[in-house]
């Protein structure tokens, strides 16, 4: 189209297809569900804040969200205050957060105005959103196929959703029910391992929210408190750095971790290797967990890459801000915006702590057994109790005076034979290295009497 | 070193195993309207006895049967009861790994009747099969479900069976595996936890393989969740990989919706742990049967049979599958 001066203008209007089929590819099904949970947590914070004015971090006890999944339907229902009709009309269904959106709660998680819509489009073709707020109640029914083709009187794309009044006596809260599920989504929802993985993810990523009293259920399972812990004793203590950077509170805690809280059922604990590395937590929501990549420090701008000998180390970067858009998260809340200057400055500090840890891993090589003993004897404390800034501290390890020299034996045998020997040793799944060690000890005992 | 199981056990005369086998094939036969078994291949570990092969041939009409035999394929070949059985030498791992495209094109009923604990090799076998078997194929696995057989790879001193399951199966271990505050799964509940875990693993293996028919993901329908006790606790679990086209006739046949089918609504579940009973006791019990549960208790009490009531009640439920073994003069 040309304007009066003969200059042509390029069309830049968005298409609905872009929202339905394209942006849904950038996020996993699991993270979409977690996005919906973010809305519940924000609702709980909003409601708690109004109920207890002046309290910086009010308890979230009494607030909960329940997720249910089946071959035909997905639902998330909470008791977190609902959406006010005014917010629904002007903001909640808007694609992208409007500049004039009210900043009614500080320290929220939701900030892009995309999570709920994207989750709907990712999961199914039909949605029913019911909100019961203290002031008003409404329902929005979305048929994605109809919405995709609907136009206004002038024949232009109509982006709006109809809001109908809801008159019932059900308790306050929000309910989102999605149906006409995509076949691959339905297959995931009927796979118990998907649900177990979701429980594990929520336990890990919402640990700091669950600690504030918030409850999440997936089907009949209550997501446990993950209970992050770190080792602390006279010889061994985490480093803690705290500062404020342009309205963002930064707190970095790094050191050695041992076991997770004994109260957490074992089967919800990630495997050992999934626990170590750096964590990034924005407004109490874990964004990166156990990262061993250049997204944090490892291999970042010439820094040392992660090595399995570091298993045992964990660092936590907590960033909190009243205005969530200051934090370095992406729309999926599963990655950090690595170019964010506040984040870049934090990574510099994280590298300082990590360097001290790496230096220790080299120092302890003179007597790893002694080092291990000291490390193992240090008790673990809850991360939330490590509050004041302190330098990182490691045990001093000196070379043993006994002068015992060691060498390594290595040999190959057929896998089936090793398995048979392992079975005879009482554990068919015993590691080959252990089979070698035990057969050597057996020989010593039988032939040398030692 | 223990000898191969066929040198220790004559599989045809284990009572509970025998009942379980009948139940499995009866259940499969009941699905004949959906799965045309006549065109299938049966794949099993026939050992020297081929008991399951005889049933697959007679009850399902399968005329193409493979027996995988590692320890003594020549002796197995000598013992095969039908011409249509072919002995494939090697481990199940090797035979499955070397299956040609034409072998994968055929629908299969596979029963991997291991006599050991579920391990990485069993996992490989199952995963490979679930990723490639044609829709309509069935996979059944029997493994030792005794807790003591499940120890993690590290030092057995601190061994917890839950850690071994986590190591093998990850998220397939149910969140309810441990009762509250417990450090490990109890020996009593271990076989049930293992059964749930393997079935979850099978569902996951089908889903995460991305396999689909006409754009719709194939599904895993759990069919078997059995336990039998002949010395060790053995668990038998399995199900069918089905396309969306096969789901509808299954819904009609079973009168269950897809959700219920996928969640195990059509599972054949039982614990078979009948103690050996004498021929005289069997005949005396048979004379009381069939009988409703309530009537049976009174009739049994009056019969003078000196068996535990609990055993008699179990017998009542399974009497028409209970085997009688006798010596044969040849």
Split at pLDDT 50, 70, 90, the class of A74 is very high
Residue A426 contacts B, CB cutoff 8 Å: yes
Higher pLDDT, A376 or A82: A82
- Hey, are the CB atoms on A183 and B217 less than 8 Å from each other? yes
DSSP string, B200-250: HHHHHHHHHTT-EETTEE-EEEEEEEEEEEESEEEEEEEEEEE-HHHHHHH
b/e per residue, B106-131, with b = 16+ CB within 10 A? ebbbbbbbbbebbbebbeebbbbbbe
Percent of chain A with pLDDT over 90: 50
The pLDDT value given to residue A404: 72
A170 has a pLDDT exceeding 90: yes
A256 has a pLDDT exceeding 70: yes
Residues of B contacting chain A (CB within 8 angstroms)? 1, 116-117, 119-120, 149-156, 159-160, 162-167, 170-178, 200-201, 203-204, 207, 215-217, 219, 244, 257-259, 262-263
| Closest in A188, A200, A429 to B207, CB measured | A188
CA A390, chain centre distance (Å): 26
Residue A268 contacts B, CB cutoff 8 Å: yes
A17 has a pLDDT exceeding 60: yes
Higher pLDDT, A238 or A6: A238
Split at pLDDT 50, 70, 90, the class of A91 is confident
| Closest in A71, A187, A193 to B171, CB measured | A193
Query: What residues in A contact B171, CB-CB < 8 Å?
Result: 193-194, 196-197, 200
* Encoded tokens for B58: 């007679």
The pLDDT value given to residue A273: 53
Split at pLDDT 50, 70, 90, the class of A268 is very low
- Hey, are the CB atoms on B162 and A266 less than 8 Å from each other? yes
Query: What residues in A contact B164, CB-CB < 8 Å?
Result: 429
The pLDDT value given to residue B129: 98
Residue A273 contacts B, CB cutoff 8 Å: no
State the number of CA atoms in the 13 A half-sphere of B43 facing the CB. Answer: 26
Split at pLDDT 50, 70, 90, the class of A267 is very low
| Closest in B1, B204, B216 to A183, CB measured | B216
- Hey, are the CB atoms on A429 and B201 less than 8 Å from each other? no
Rounded Cα gap, residues B29 and A79, in angstroms: 50
Place of tokens 């929802």: A189
| pTM of the predicted structure, to 2 decimals | 0.85
State mean pLDDT over A298-302.
Answer: 91
Task: Tell me how many residue pairs between chain A and chain B have CB atoms under 8 A apart.
Answer: 99
Rounded Cα gap, residues B171 and A197, in angstroms: 6
What are the beta bridge partners of residue B236?
A: B142, B226
The pLDDT value given to residue A261: 29
Q: Which residue of B has its CA nearest to A192?
A: B200
- Hey, are the CB atoms on A267 and B177 less than 8 Å from each other? yes
**Residue-level pLDDT, tens digit, chain B, 330 residues:** 455 666 665 555 788 999 999 999 999 999 999 999 999 999 999 899 999 999 999 999 999 999 999 999 999 999 999 999 999 999 999 999 999 999 999 999 999 999 899 999 999 999 999 999 999 999 999 999 999 889 877 655 567 899 899 889 999 999 889 887 888 999 999 999 999 999 999 999 999 999 999 999 999 999 999 999 978 899 999 999 999 999 999 999 999 999 999 999 999 999 999 888 888 999 999 999 999 988 999 999 999 999 999 899 999 999 989 888 777 765
Give the end-to-end CA distance of chain A in Å, rounded to a whole number.
Answer: 94
Query: What residues in B contact A429, CB-CB < 8 Å?
Result: 117, 119-120, 150-153, 164, 167
The pLDDT value given to residue A263: 32
| Closest in A190, A193, A427 to B262, CB measured | A190
- Hey, are the CB atoms on B175 and A196 less than 8 Å from each other? yes
- Hey, are the CB atoms on B151 and A429 less than 8 Å from each other? yes
The pLDDT value given to residue A102: 65
Q: How far is CA A35 from CA A174, A294, A333, A345, A402, in A?
A: 14, 25, 8, 27, 58
A111 has a pLDDT exceeding 80: no
The pLDDT value given to residue B111: 98
The overall average pLDDT reported for chain A is 87
Closest-CA residue to A36 (of A105, A117, A101) = A117
Q: What is the ipTM of this complex?
A: 0.84
* Encoded tokens for A29: 């099904």
Higher pLDDT, B198 or A92: B198
A392-425 per-position pLDDT tens digit: 998 888 877 666 777 888 889 998 889 889 888 8
CA distance A196 to chain B (A): 6
Asked which of A246-250, A293-297, A337-341, A398-402 is least confident by mean pLDDT, the reply is: A398-402
| Closest in B162, B166, B203 to A192, CB measured | B203
Split at pLDDT 50, 70, 90, the class of A266 is very low
A160 has a pLDDT exceeding 70: yes
State mean pLDDT over A237-243.
Answer: 95
- Hey, are the CB atoms on B151 and A426 less than 8 Å from each other? yes
Higher pLDDT, B64 or A111: B64
Higher pLDDT, A163 or A270: A163
The pLDDT value given to residue A158: 84
A198-234 per-position pLDDT tens digit: 999 999 999 999 999 999 999 999 998 888 999 999 8
| Closest in B156, B207, B259 to A427, CB measured | B156
């Amino acid at each position: 189209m040309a304007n009066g001066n003969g200059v042509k203008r390029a069309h830049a209007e968005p298409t609905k297809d872009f929202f339905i089929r394209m942006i849904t590819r950038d996020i996993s099904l699991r993270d979409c569900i977690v996005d919906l949970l973010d809305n519940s947590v924000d609702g709980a914070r909003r409601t708690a804040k109004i109920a207890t004015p002046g309290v910086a971090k009010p308890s979230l006890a009494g607030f909960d969200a329940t997720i249910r999944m089946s071959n035909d339907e997905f639902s998330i229902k909470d008791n977190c205050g609902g959406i006010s009709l005014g917010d629904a009309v002007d903001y909640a269904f808007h694609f992208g957060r409007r500049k004039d959106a009210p900043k009614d709660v500080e320290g929220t998680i939701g900030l892009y105005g995309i999570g709920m819509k994207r989750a709907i489009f990712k999961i199914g073709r039909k949605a029913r959103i019911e909100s019961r707020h203290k002031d008003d109640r409404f329902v929005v029914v979305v048929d994605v196929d109809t919405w995709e083709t609907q136009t206004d009187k002038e024949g232009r794309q109509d982006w709006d959703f109809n809001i109908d009044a809801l008159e019932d006596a059900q308790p306050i809260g929000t309910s989102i029910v999605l149906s006409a599920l995509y076949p691959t989504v339905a297959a995931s929802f009927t796979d118990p391992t998907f649900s177990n993985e979701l429980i594990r993810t929520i336990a890990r990523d919402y640990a700091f929210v669950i600690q504030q009293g918030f409850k999440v259920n997936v089907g009949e399972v209550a997501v446990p408190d993950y209970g992050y812990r770190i080792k602390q004793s006279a010889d061994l203590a985490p480093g803690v750095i705290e500062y404020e950077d342009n309205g963002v509170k930064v707190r970095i805690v790094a050191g050695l971790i041992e076991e997770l809280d004994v109260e957490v059922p074992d089967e919800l604990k990630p495997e050992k290797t999934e626990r170590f590395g750096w964590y990034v937590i924005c407004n109490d929501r874990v964004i990166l967990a156990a990262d061993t990549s250049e997204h944090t420090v490892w291999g970042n701008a010439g820094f040392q890459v992660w090595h399995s000998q570091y298993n045992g180390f964990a660092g936590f970067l907590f960033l909190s801000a009243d205005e969530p858009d200051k934090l370095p998260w992406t729309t999926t809340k599963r990655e950090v915006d690595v170019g964010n200057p506040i984040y870049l400055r934090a990574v510099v500090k994280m590298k300082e702590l990590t360097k001290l840890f790496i230096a220790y891993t080299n120092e302890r090589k003179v007597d790893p057994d002694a080092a291990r003993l000291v490390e193992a004897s240090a008790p673990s404390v809850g991360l939330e109790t490590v509050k004041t800034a302190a330098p990182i501290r490691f045990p001093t390890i000196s070379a043993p005076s006994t002068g015992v020299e060691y060498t390594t034996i290595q040999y190959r045998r057929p896998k089936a034979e090793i398995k048979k020997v392992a079975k005879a040793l009482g554990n068919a799944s015993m590691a080959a290295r252990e089979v070698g060690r035990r057969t050597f000890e057996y020989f010593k005992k039988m032939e040398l009497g030692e | 070193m223990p000898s191969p199981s066929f040198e220790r056990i004559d599989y045809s005369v284990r009572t509970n195993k025998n009942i379980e086998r009948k139940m499995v094939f009866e259940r499969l036969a009941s699905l004949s309207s959906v799965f045309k078994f006549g065109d299938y291949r049966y794949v099993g570990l026939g050992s020297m006895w081929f008991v399951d092969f005889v049933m697959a041939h007679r009850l399902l009409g399968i005329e193409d049967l493979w027996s995988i035999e590692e320890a003594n394929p020549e002796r197995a070949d000598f013992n095969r009861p039908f011409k249509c059985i072919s002995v494939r030498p090697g481990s199940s791992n090797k035979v499955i790994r070397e299956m040609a495209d034409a072998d994968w094109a055929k629908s299969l009923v596979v029963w991997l009747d291991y006599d050991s604990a579920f391990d990485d090799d069993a996992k490989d076998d199952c995963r490979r099969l679930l990723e490639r078997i044609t829709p309509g194929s069935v996979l059944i696995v029997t493994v030792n479900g005794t807790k003591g057989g499940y120890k993690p790879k590290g030092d057995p001193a601190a061994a917890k069976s839950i850690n071994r399951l986590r190591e093998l199966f990850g998220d397939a271990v149910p969140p309810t595996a441990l009762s509250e505050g417990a450090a490990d799964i109890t020996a009593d509940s271990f076989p049930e936890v293992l059964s749930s875990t393997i079935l979850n693993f099978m569902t996951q293996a089908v889903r995460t393989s991305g396999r689909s028919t006409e754009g719709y993901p194939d599904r895993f329908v759990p069919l078997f969740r059995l336990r039998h006790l002949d010395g060790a606790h053995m668990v038998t679990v399995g199900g069918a990989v089905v396309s969306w086209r096969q789901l509808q006739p299954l819904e009609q046949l079973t009168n269950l919706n897809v959700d219920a089918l996928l969640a195990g609504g059509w599972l054949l579940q039982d614990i078979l742990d009948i103690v050996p009973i004498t021929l005289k006791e069997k005949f005396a019990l048979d004379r009381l049967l069939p009988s409703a549960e309530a009537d049976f208790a009174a009739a049994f009490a009056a019969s003078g049979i000196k068996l535990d009531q609990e055993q008699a009640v179990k017998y009542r439920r399974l009497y028409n599958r209970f085997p009688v073994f006798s010596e044969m003069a040849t």
